[in-house]
Amino acid sequence: LCGDFQKQVPFPFSLLCLQVIKCKAAVMWEANKPFSIEEVEVAPPKAHEVRIKIVATGICRSDDHVITGGLVMPFPIILGHEAAGIVESVGQGVTSIKPGDKVIPLFVPQCGECSSCLNTKGNLCSKNDIGSGAGLMPDGTTRFTCKGKAIHHFIGTSTFTEYTVVHESAVAKIDSAAPLEKVCLIGCGFSTGYGAAVQTAKVEPGSTCAIFGLGGVGLSVVMGCKAAGASRIIAVDINSDKFAKAKELGATDCVNPKDFKKPVHEVLIEMTGHGVDYSFEVIGCTETMTAALACCQYNYGVSVIVGVPPAAQKITFDPMLLFTGRTWKGSVFGGWKSKDSVPKLVADYMKKKFVLEPLITHTLPFTKINEGFDLLRTGK
């Protein structure tokens, strides 16, 4: 009704339909505690903002990093960043999105004006909230309140709520026929992993790859390596239950470091004769980051850090690992320019260029979010 109303009535009067919405949200009041399902108030979108009804949201390890302190953010907070939904209303000046559009929120925005957005090599828009961790909208305020308290946003998205507000630069309009309960994964996990292989590393046909960590993002790296034509894809995880799915999606070999007495990078060098062409760390652990670097070919190997690094931890490594020619790279959101690329990735999914279904292990009602995180933490 709001959308129809806005079509018929001049803009100043259409503001009448932009009211505070009361809805359910999973609020994280403090670290290392369960989510609390609360009634929250979601303010109307301000100028250049969009309010979205969230239809489906994925659980990502990055959300859990906030709970455990591995990723420092202010509390109380509404987490969640991998989602899809339908636009409920828009603020003044929004031109690219209208009520009723199917959309995916973007934790890496694309303002189109900063140095990263303007450079063909960049994708980490300066308007992102990953580094600063302010937990607020770009204007320095929040759109969420609960029990009279202001609730922080999470990296510009906050999708563990029935309604959220994002900046216009942090939302992408997608195909109206797309199944939101599947393409929500393009909001983070799939795009991050798949892009790390095809966009950041630019894996070549016939190459050898190693992937450390076989969660949803790691499995998406496997898919990206296969799509790029890698001839050997070695999946590495301490949970052997992950291996069947990895092979289903393209892994040629599976390695459990617990099965060996020697360091895993030595195992991989022996398996390949000279080390892998490309390695990917998709865990967020400093030990596996250095192991992934060490396992790639000493002169032209490329290692990509995909997992979020833990807060306040440093890496100590032998600089000879880089002096001999290896390349060490990072990848945020798979290197994609978000607003441009997400609609294209959804279109590719609709054309069956890749699958998302194998990445979805469970579907739960929103109120069982704590059970979902238990499944994540137990590797299920």
88 Cα distance to chain centroid: 23
Task: Give the per-residue SS3 of the chain.
Answer: CHHHHHHHCCHHHHHHHCCCEEEEEEEECCCCCCCEEEEEEECCCCCCEEEEEEEEECCCHHHHHHHHCCCCCCCCEECCCCEEEEEEEECCCCCCCCCCCEEEECCCCCCCCCHHHHCCCCCCCCCCCCCCCCCCCCCCCCCEEECCEEEECCCCCCCCECEEEEEHHHEEECCCCCCHHHHHHHHCHHHHHHHHHHHHHCCCCCCEEEEECCCHHHHHHHHHHHHCCCCEEEEECCCHHHHHHHHHCCCCEEECHHHCCCCHHHHHHHHHCCCECEEEECCCCHHHHHHHHHHECCCCCEEEECCCCCCCCCCCCCCHHHHCCCEEEECCHHHCCHHHHHHHHHHHHHCCCCCCHHHCCCCCCHHHHHHHHHHHHCCC
* Residue 152 is among the residues annotated as catalytic for this protein: no
* Residue 117 is among the residues annotated as catalytic for this protein: no
Q: Which is the catalytic residue, given 14, 36, 60, 209?
A: 60
Q: Which is the catalytic residue, given 62, 89, 303, 338?
A: 62
Centre a 10 Å sphere on the Cβ of residue 136 and count the other Cβ atoms it contains: 17
Q: Which is the catalytic residue, given 111, 117, 125, 188?
A: 188
* Residue 23 is among the residues annotated as catalytic for this protein: no
Query: Which residues, at least 6 apart from 292, have a Cβ–Cβ distance to it below 8 Å?
Result: 210, 212, 265, 279, 280, 281, 303, 305
* Residue 254 is among the residues annotated as catalytic for this protein: no
* Residue 116 is among the residues annotated as catalytic for this protein: no
Q: Catalytic residue numbers?
A: 60, 62, 65, 81, 188
